[in-house]
Chain A
Amino acid sequence: MIYLLLFFSFLQIGLLSFGGGYAAMPLIQDQIVTTHGWLSMAEFTDLITISQMTPGPIAINSATFVGIKIAGVGGALVATLGCILPSCILVTFIARLYLKYRTVATLQGVLISLRPAVVAMIASAGVSILVTAFWGTGAVTLSGINVVMAVIFLIAFVLLRTGKVNPIFVMLLAGVLKLAAYWLGW
């Protein structure tokens, strides 16, 4: 039963993530955190962090991570299979049409419209990650904000906007800064 649930959850993620990269993130959050409660928001954020630092698409990484946590290696296999099945069917189908007729389908036109919505949903997922980082599970108030985390975020953001620093390095730096702050007793 749990296998079926994992399979269909990740099938949905695979079927509806248009645009690659971060596009799967809001869908993963919806399925894994909101709908099924398989990961807490903090664990989900850890998962995104780990995905950033390892090769492989976020959706496949999540399928493996969540699958193992919920139902062991079998769960990971089932979740990963669910995640790639829509791609296997749709992409093979489109590739077959393309090799026959030599035109890329109107799918691209639809993608142009989806793009802004995908950006907006990534932003929403980003907001919930930041809310967890700044306030934990507490209420979102001005006085309740974790100042150390807010400062680390600002430093990281400014570094990234210079365009000269590797995101993996920035994330590691953020972790080390927090560690230093903890050591200093802030």
Chain B
Amino acid sequence: MENKKKILKTLFVSTLYLSAFTFGGGYVIVTLMKKKFVDEYHWIEEAEMLDLVAIAQSAPGAIAVNGAIVVGYKLAGLWGALVATVATIIPPFVIISLISVFYAAFRSNVWIAQLLEGMQAGVGAVIASVVWDMGADVVRTKSPLSIGIMIVSFVATCFFHVNVVLVIVVVAVLGVIRALVAGRRKRS
């Protein structure tokens, strides 16, 4: 029992720390989790951690939160999942709460408004660059179906304003069929 309490405490502190100081999104945070729990504490085996990361990435939701849940659950069951999740959420919650107070007060300042406006062009460039990389990955698969899905989804959402939920549901169904067909082919 003492041991479990200790694990929960370490879990809380490490996930809180990782969440507070990790810039660059979920992929970075799961890598750091692996470093902490596999390489440093030896609480999880490397191969198992890879599967846990795969679960975090394939389930819906933020990867950082999903990663905290799988690792927490693996180490200390439901309590572990809960503790890790809460620890992961606290830093962004506090930081954004503070910022939103300042945002409301500062947005009307003409200089801040100019700065933020310029940053809109900057964030647009960041997204354009990310899309470039992700799109190139899809094109590199040379799968006509994947490339087709990408083009049709873009035209549908960008020019015809088709609801994104509809696109996700349709493509997910398509994906299930594709996975089933591929599985059957492998068997026969």
Query: Which residue of B has the minimal Cβ distance to A110?
Result: B175
> Which of chain A's residues have a CB closer than 8 A to the CB of B174?
113
Instruction: Tell me, rounded to whole Å, the shortest Cβ–Cβ distance linking A127 to chain B.
Output: 5
Q: Mark B131-148, 1 if CB is under 8 A from A, else 0.
A: 110110010000001110
Query: Does B62 contact A149, Cβ atoms closer than 8 Å?
Result: no
For the side of the interface on B, what is the size category? 35 or more
Query: Does B115 contact A156, Cβ atoms closer than 8 Å?
Result: no
Does more than half of chain B's interface fall in helix, strand or loop, or is it mixed? helix
Check if A91 is an interface residue, CB within 8 A of chain B.
yes
Chain A binder among B5-13, B35-43, B150-158: B150-158
Query: Does A107 contact B59, Cβ atoms closer than 8 Å?
Result: yes
Query: Does A55 contact B93, Cβ atoms closer than 8 Å?
Result: no
For the side of the interface on A, what is the size category? 35 or more
In angstroms, Cα B156 to Cα A127, docked, is: 13
Instruction: Tell me, rounded to whole Å, the shortest Cβ–Cβ distance linking B105 to chain A.
Output: 13
Query: Which residue of B has the minimal Cβ distance to A27?
Result: B164
In angstroms, Cα B138 to Cα A56, docked, is: 26
Tell me the A residues contacting B by CB distance below 8 Å. Answer: 12, 14-22, 24-27, 30, 42, 45-46, 48-50, 52-61, 64-65, 68-69, 73, 76, 80, 83-84, 86-88, 90-92, 94-96, 98-99, 102, 104-117, 119-127, 129-130, 132-134, 149-150, 152-153, 156-157, 159-161, 167-168, 170-179, 181-182
Sample of 14 more A-B contacts, CB < 8 Å, known A174-B118, A178-B121: A20-B62, A55-B95, A65-B100, A68-B96, A68-B101, A69-B100, A69-B104, A84-B65, A90-B60, A91-B81, A95-B73, A119-B150, A161-B129, A174-B123
**13 pairs from A and B in contact (CB 8 Å cutoff):** A21-B25, A21-B130, A56-B96, A57-B63, A64-B93, A84-B61, A87-B61, A112-B175, A116-B149, A153-B121, A161-B129, A174-B118, A178-B121
Tell me the B residues contacting A by CB distance below 8 Å. Answer: 19-23, 25-27, 51-52, 54-66, 69-70, 73-74, 78, 81, 85, 89, 91-93, 95-97, 99-101, 103-104, 107, 111, 114-132, 134-135, 138, 145-147, 149-154, 157-158, 163-165, 167-168, 171-172, 174-176, 178-179, 182-183
